[in-house]
Amino acid sequence: MSDTTTSTSAPTEALPAEIRSRLVLALDVDDMVAATRLARELQPWFATAKVGLELFSAAGPDAIASLAQLGFDVFYDAKLHDIPTTVGRAARVLGALGARYVTMHAAGGVAMLRAGVEGLREGAARADLPEPVALAITVLTSDLEASEHVLRQRVTTALDAGCDGLVCAVPDVAIIREMAPATTVVTPGIRAARAPVDDQARVATPQEALDSGVDLLVIGRAVTRSENPTEAAASLLGNLTL
């Protein structure tokens, strides 16, 4: 089943391209029709669409292909964490599917991450696709217990494994920029000021994230769970500056 409706409630270009390119729409829903509707409605605000475990469990690899066909870069938040052989083979499949970004847990260690990086690149190369970006998850935004030592250890692990970028909470960006100035930094947990934090304990506003030096901001419930997602996007993102 596909959704053929289009939204006319937002302008063709709601944001300058240099800001829109930094924003990732988290489609954390369990239905591909709903995901497609949201993606089309919010495409003027977001250049990248994130497929998480919920949507991938509902729609499978078609979720990646469908969003790519709409013109999005696709961020598959796979959170790979297994033995190196399994991660490498899974990453090879994901690279061939056309995922632009794929996440894996830095807690899995250097060998596992390296297998994921190599598998991802190999899969994309076999499918004659651009080289994807392997992202290592450092400390989850819901984790209030992990120490700075753990963060630094996981960053070092990811860099040693050849990962292209790191996923972290905004409060951790300064340490990551100190350790890896040129790496791609991705942050979830983006909320409006004084909005409910839900299950993500370490949150920030979009402007705070950009000001901290983040490259990609992952934004989901703050927009997608609104009664009017377009208005929510305009309110949250309309005044961003670089």
> Which residues carry out catalysis?
79
The 10 Å Cβ neighbour count of residue 230 is 19
Q: Which of 184, 75, 209, 80 is nearest to 176 (CA)?
A: 184
31/179 Cα distance (integer angstroms): 39
Rg (CA), the chain: 17
Q: Is the distance from CB of 220 to CB of 53 less than 8 angstroms?
A: no
Q: Is the distance from CB of 160 to CB of 112 less than 8 angstroms?
A: no
Tell me the sheet residues that pair with 165. Answer: 135, 184
Amino acid at 160: D
Q: Is the distance from CB of 22 to CB of 210 less than 8 angstroms?
A: yes
DSSP code at position 199: T
Q: Which of 73, 71, 112, 65 is nearest to 93 (CA)?
A: 65
Amino acid at 219: I
203/170 Cα distance (integer angstroms): 7
